[in-house]
A and B are shown apart, each in its own frame.
Chain A
Amino acid sequence: MEKGKGVMGAGRRWAVDFSDNSTAPSSRDIPDPPGFTRASVDQDDSAVSRQKKDAEANWKSQKAWEVAQAPFKNLLMMGFMMWMAGSTVHLFSIGITFSALWQPISALQGVGKVFEPYKDNKVDLLGPKLLFIALNLGGLALGVWKLNTLGLLPTHASDWVSSLSPAQEVEYSGGGIPL
């Protein structure tokens, strides 16, 4: 995840330098000056700038894919850690399992943010996003699986009946050897 962030940060710095501010969502809030039409500006663009833009979009989608694939490495590492932790309940294995559960969840919460720098009209972010989500869900599943192997998921009948009080009896009988 650290690596992914690094990539993302660098991308943003680059984006400030080269991208057209007018496409940034923040600038959309300000109405265009009178007599200015966006379409004419696009039309007026030279071939050079168009080429430039194409290259940038390519680059962005490439980066987005990279970002989307980043959790995979994470997944492998997590799997290795879990294997190391073993299947008995103790502090280490519980810590690993809970971090394995927490990381995908927090990553999923920040999906929009992660892909924000690569947002472009010409870039299709759906593919990378889906991959990112799928990989994180995979990580989550791994965490849940680990939780289950530790026996901490109430998936067995025993988890639901362990404190079930005994059934009441209808009949009562007493007696014994006469006094």
Chain B
Amino acid sequence: MKCIIIGGNIKVLGRAVHSLSRIGDELYLEPTENGVWGNRRGWELWGPQCPPLSDTHPVCPQLSLRSINSSRSAFASFLFAPLFFQRYEAGGPELFRCKVLMKSFLGVFRSLPSLEKTVEKCLILLKAQLSRLVVQLHCKYGVTKTHNLTFQECERLQAVFDTQQCASRLQAPAQLLAEAVVHFPPALAEVTLRVDAGGKISLRNYVDEGEPTKMMVTELCLAKEEFEAVAAVPDSHITFCLREFRGLLSFAEASHLPLSIYYDAPGRPVIFTLDDAVLEVNLVLATLSDPESSSQHPTSNGVSHIPAPPDDFADDLEAYMIAMETSAYEESSRDPPTPSFPLRTPQPPPSDPNEEDEEEEGGAVPGTPPHKKFRSLFFGSVLTPGGPNPAPVQEVLAEDSDGEY
């Protein structure tokens, strides 16, 4: 993969990396040869039969940068269209995914002001044969800074979500949300977004009901008119972690893009999106489930996430498994990953030997609210493993693979 970024987009890339650095410790880079660029309204559930591409969905290569936090409760992805780059070559029939240490990658883009002032061209080069990911900054006065980063080959990191399945949607200028969030202390963990019966929207810091409230409670009410779009279920609410959201918010503010919030029932993930002609950003956060609905297990959430035509999955189950068994990367040739994040139901069992390091299910998690009732999202690796037969109990509900496309 080789791409060149020039001008103002270098800073955008830098900001994207900063945003991702608030999420996880590793940055996943995934160049793709074929993809479908479409806005989220056009997303559909992709079964094994890939719908025919229409004119409104041009096929194009793209680069995606992703990250996930250690407790699997936050996932972010930045998808860059070819127009974002001065030049973009996905490279070769064998597409190569890798992950790098966030710290290393961020180090290249650490100082945003200096990126803006001195860097004229940024080149990113990734080749299977090379042992390093090369990020080269061509700066003013003939200075060239070359960073050779070690990387690890990895599986595809893909979150399971679908904005179309969300009952509620809000859209607001990032500025509004930034102004709202500033009233909450930086160290605060969770905040509840609520749309009441009258359509009033409020943000409130979440306090564990069990303990006697010695904590200060802050509540901010926003008028409906301040939002660009409000299509929310009356009397609905969702509680999520503020920390990862702030990272996206600072990116959104700088890019002046409106932010969309999709949410459903408590416990189901909340999805924040930003859309642009050349950029698509998604942030998926786990949410707190209501105590009343605690009977909903992760599995049941997973069940509800089973793609609409489960039969298709069943039919091709074996095909997937074969694909998985043969090679971790072979699928990439069969898979035109799409920006429409298709639903899957990975539930990787912790003890799976096929899993790579990053898939380890940390039980005790330092990340965002480990001790609460947050459901960790099922960011299974695409290679949700399993034996030849899908093990019924704690194994994956439906095998997961990109091969279906």
A and B: bona fide binding partners: no
B residues touching A (Cβ–Cβ < 8 Å)?
none
A residues touching B (Cβ–Cβ < 8 Å)?
none
